[in-house]
Amino acid sequence: MQAVEAEAARLFLKARASDDADDWADAYAWVALDPAHGFAFAKAEAGWELTERLHELPAGRMAAPDLDDSPPVTMPVALMSRRNLWMGLTAAACIGVAGTVALRLVGTVDRYRTALGETRTVKLADGSSIHLNTNSSVEVALRENIRSIRLLKGEARFDVAHDGKRPFIVEANGTQVRAVGTMFNVRLRTDLTELTVIEGIVAVSNGGSVVRRIASGKSAAVRSGGIAVTPIEPAKIRQRISWQDGLVQFDGDTLAQAVEEFNRYRATPLVIGDPAIASLRVGGAFRLDRSEDFVQALQSGFGVRAVAGSDNSVILVSDE
């Protein structure tokens, strides 16, 4: 059994690290050979997710400021040892509650992805749509009583067709967003999950202890069991989802933030070579595939000089 678990861990970590379709296919083919393989793979995945949660868990958890109008709904959570928590997560994974392989074990899962700089719209059989941003991937499992989506990386907007009998649940790095008929955007950032509710109401949980109801016109930053909700202006919502129109918009963002955003779509980076210009405030709308227009605007109106690197990168420095 140790050999099986070792192979499960190897295949899972390889596929997770590369996010390559062939690596995932190899892992799923191995899972299909024996039920014990499926159990071991689910255990490997649950263990990885538990490790991520434990790394993020603060020594003393503090409640995030509650800016939402609706009160949080607290669920009873029993204290448990790490061993019991491991067993619980493993069992959950094996019956299809958590993880990639769990969805695979209970039926067909469709996987969609985009390359660097690519955006894509996927129409689902239930009438819903998923809009994928650059370098993103999702897994979709449509069942008779539930619609399960897993955002593996990147960013996606979900336009959910109403179906009162089948909730639409998106899982993203431990955060679960539940909707019936609504529209929302989820982005996996380096240190948190960012949710923007465009239409309707969603229920959000992270860590399983608290569920928050979040209405349109609000945003949530989710991390380590904390859910911080803030109002968001319509203009800011349009800015966040402008990528769906092939644009990136800035309105008083710093140059550092703008460069980070453009680099999501570039094979070679923009690099700030002078810390003095990192805090410059910029604005405007630019095509995702025309970052050179942004660089030209910096040179003509902000006193910034662009220097080409030998690797096709662009180094931004002060022109003074």
Domain range summary for the chain, segments of one domain joined by +: 2-236, 246-318
pLDDT at 130: 98
Per residue in 91-106, pLDDT tens? 443 433 345 554 554 4
CATH of domain 2-236: 2.60.120.1440
- Which residue shows structure tokens 């909730």? 167
80: pLDDT confidence band, cut at 50, 70 and 90? very low
Can you tell me the distance from the alpha carbon of 163 to that of 81, in angstroms, rounded to the nearest whole number? Answer: 38
pLDDT at 40: 75
246-318 has the same fold as 2-236: no
Can you tell me the distance from the alpha carbon of 206 to that of 178, in angstroms, rounded to the nearest whole number? Answer: 12
Answer with the residue of higher pLDDT: 297 or 47: 297
Question: Which residues are paired to 110 by β-bridges?
Answer: 140
Can you tell me the distance from the alpha carbon of 53 to that of 133, in angstroms, rounded to the nearest whole number? Answer: 26
The residue among 245, 132, 119 whose CA lies nearest residue 185 is 132
pLDDT at 97: 36
Answer with the residue of higher pLDDT: 15 or 99: 15
The residue among 136, 166, 140, 170 whose CA lies nearest residue 153 is 136
- In 174-301, alpha helices (H): 234-240, 255-263, 291-301
Per residue in 176-223, pLDDT tens? 999 978 999 999 998 999 999 999 999 998 876 578 899 999 999 998
pTM metric for this prediction: 0.70
CATH of domain 246-318: 3.55.50.30
Per residue in 167-178, pLDDT tens? 999 999 889 999
